[in-house]
Amino acid sequence: MGTNLREVEDYLDQKFTESFDLKEAGATLAQMTANNQILFLLESLLDSEELLEVARRSNRQQNGFEKLVLVSPAHRLYRLRFHIWNPRSGGNNQEDEHNHSWEFASTVLSGCLNQQFFIESDSGEARFKHRFINQHLQPQPTPYQNGYVNAETLGQVRLKRVHEVNLASGSNYILTPEVIHRITNLSDVPSSTLFLHGPFQKSDSDVYTKIPLARDRLDIPSYKPEQLAQVIRNYLDSIGGSGVTKSLGLVQEANLQVDQLTDPVGNGH
């Protein structure tokens, strides 16, 4: 895989230079998470000149987790991220329901997450639907930069939960852009995932909230290098060096398309 981010990018470029294959992405994450390689990579980042670069494109998401964008090549055929849900940081343990602008593969490295899936349905619970427009996207490939998103409120809809699964350390799943889901951290220690997504298939995504957003522009400040370093140290200290792959527990794979999520919970899913 490589011992630094440059080598990791070279490794991923060899696999995804021409196209992004979702199953290949899942297999790649399995290789990258073997033998605690990601822990060594995070630790090496603390003393690396790459820390500033990673900090500029990373942030704390309003959905309650720390988003570290480890690799973000200019060609934008993929992006490698590391997510941390840390109950000790005072953030939300449960996301708002949402979908994405791209397909992705994810591997749970530590802790335990609950994932729920939804469809818009007249029999569901009321939510305000917002369309988030990614302002960093340009007609031509450019380096990723955080900044802000515009949020357009589309009105009220109803969401029906159709499936849920608990994801322990070692679980893998892949998801397509249209699937509406929500992650909840179930662990009292940090839960984390290594996350690899493909190119943007659209310039927006949908977020569903119980109350309307107070404003139509959401600022997303990037980390300062010292802030990111503290996030990484807190994570490494919290898992105590025991190794994120030592105990795999429940291993589940979910290749879920939106047409698979149409039955109520308990009807065979």
* pLDDT per position as a tens digit, 136-161: 554 443 333 445 577 889 999 999 99
Q: Whole-model pTM?
A: 0.85
Question: In sequence order, which residues have a C-beta less than 8 Å from that of residue 40 and are 6 or more positions away?
Answer: 3
* Long-range CB pairs of 226-230, under 8 A, 24+ apart, other chains included: 227/55, 228/51, 228/54, 228/55, 228/58, 228/68, 229/46, 229/51
**Dist CA 64 CA 85 (whole Å):** 7
Residue 173 φ then ψ, to 5° = -155, 160
- Which structure tokens are listed for 50? 């790459």
- The domains located in the chain, with CATH, are 5-260 (2.60.120.10)
Phi, psi at 249, each rounded to 5°: 60, -140
- pLDDT digits over 158-183, tens only? 999 999 999 999 999 999 999 999 99
What CA–CA distance (Å, rounded) separates 232 from 236? 6
